Structure 1
Amino acid sequence: MVDGLRVIIGPMFSGKTTELLRVLRKYAIAGYRVVLVKPSTDTRYSSSKVVSHDGLEMDALVVEPTIDGLKKVHNILLDHDIIGIDEYQFFNYSKELIRFLLDLSNDKLVIVAALNLDFRGEPWEVVKEILPYADDIKVLRAVCTHVGRDGRRCGRPAVRTQRLLDGRPAPYNSPRVLIGGRESYEARCRKHHEVPK
């Protein structure tokens, strides 16, 4: 039997969704019943599918990003062996949500993919609260795309997500959630991550 809780974390463009889809497809090929969940707030590429930045996609069960949203599809989740949750950072934190996922992971393999930090460099509460319970944590890195004065890209391992407004770093007081892709975000190393106060 496959069970447990796995967490895939990293900044934007580190391949979290690609990794989640890869693992789910592997289990589906092996004959496991797989379901993918996404929050209704993630409408970036599709309202009914999870789509990675590199174009991989999979049909998804779209839920309100709350414990009540997950409870509404509880019976569907119970009918599957492997449960993937993309963009987990957008779920509203509650102890009940964590308990719900842990209970599922006693008999199922639950895999969540999430941003490690928000654009300010601060942890998402729902992510930091589930990490101690994970049986496995896969930390992914992107590549820092900051362009220096010499015109060259940094290239260091990127551990942060840089939000841009009109091509410049977004100020700290910007809304925490802004759904977007390459037009609004870049992967940055700690040295080049900027959050103007």
Structure 2
Amino acid sequence: MFLENASRKGWIEVVCGSMFSGKTEELIRRLKRAQFAHQRVEIFKPCIDVRYSEEEVVSHDAHAIRSTPVESPQNILLMTSDVDVVGIDEAQFFDESIVDVCRQLADNGVRVIVAGLDMDYTGRPFGPMPALMATAEYVTKVHAICVRCGNLAHH
């Protein structure tokens, strides 16, 4: 019989898929539910993501949630000493150290929810996402719909 370490309550969730598949929408939905449950939530995104807002994560459906832009995944550790849930959007734009940062947060009892593109435009694995997906306890893959044929879009 296997028993999990009862003191570890943190875990990693990854929401991945193609562009326009609803990754950020799902991230925002999960984070807002955590806030509704009175959990302490912090949200981060790469500094280079300034498409809609510099200090918000914004979905294509125009839903938004306040976030902190960071240059390096290590900066996340400096700002999460007293949180229950950490959200990270556009994780594919971080370097591989994001994987260790997420593991460390989870080992410290934090629920970590990461969203990002799993493949680039050529269909190849994108940045640290494959390692995050392998490390995560829960992976949700969402799909866009092709506007030409109506089938699932894969990248």
TM-score for both structures, normalised by structure 1? 0.71
Shift of 1:126: 0.5
Match of 1:109 in 2: 111
Write the distance in 1 (CA, Å) between the matches of 2:111 and 2:15. Answer: 13
In structure 2, list runs of 5 or more residues that go unmatched. 1-7
Match of 1:167 in 2: none
Shift of 1:33: 0.3
Match of 2:131 in 1: 129
Write the distance in 2 (CA, Å) between the matches of 1:52 and 1:15. Answer: 8
Question: Using a 3 Å threshold, how does the CA distance of structure 1 residues 73 and 9 change in structure 2: closer, same or farther?
Answer: closer
Q: Residue type matched to 1:19 in 2?
A: E
- After superposition, the C-alpha distances for 1:10-49 in whole angstroms (9 at most, x for unaligned) are 0011100000000000010001001110100101011111
Write the distance in 2 (CA, Å) between the matches of 1:90 and 1:115. Answer: 9
Write the distance in 2 (CA, Å) between the matches of 1:10 and 1:40. Answer: 21
- After superposition, the C-alpha distances for 1:96-154 in whole angstroms (9 at most, x for unaligned) are x32221011121000100011111111113111121111000000110112xxxxxxx0
Question: Using a 3 Å threshold, how does the CA distance of structure 1 residues 71 and 54 change in structure 2: closer, same or farther?
Answer: same
* Residue of 28, 37, 58 corresponding to 2:65: 58
Asked if the contact 1:7/1:131 (under 8 Å) is kept, the reply is yes
Asked if the contact 1:36/1:61 (under 8 Å) is kept, the reply is yes
The one of the two structures with greater contact order (alpha-carbon pairs below 8 A, sep at least 6) is 2
Q: Tell me, yes or no, if structure 1 residue 82 matches structure 2 residue 85.
A: yes
Q: Residue type matched to 2:79 in 1?
A: I
Q: Give SS of 2:116's match.
A: strand
Q: Tell me, yes or no, if structure 1 residue 93 matches structure 2 residue 96.
A: yes
Shift of 1:2: 5.1
Q: Residue type matched to 1:47 in 2?
A: E
Asked if the contact 1:39/1:91 (under 8 Å) is kept, the reply is yes
Shift of 1:72: 2.9
Higher Rg of the two aligned structures: 1
Q: Count residues with an aligned counterpart.
A: 147
* Residue of 122, 138, 141 corresponding to 2:140: 138
Write the distance in 2 (CA, Å) between the matches of 1:131 and 1:73. Answer: 19
Question: Using a 3 Å threshold, how does the CA distance of structure 1 residues 49 and 109 change in structure 2: closer, same or farther?
Answer: same
Q: Tell me, yes or no, if structure 1 residue 156 matches structure 2 residue 137.
A: no
Q: Residue type matched to 1:21 in 2?
A: I
Q: Which moved more, 1:41-50 or 1:120-129?
A: 120-129
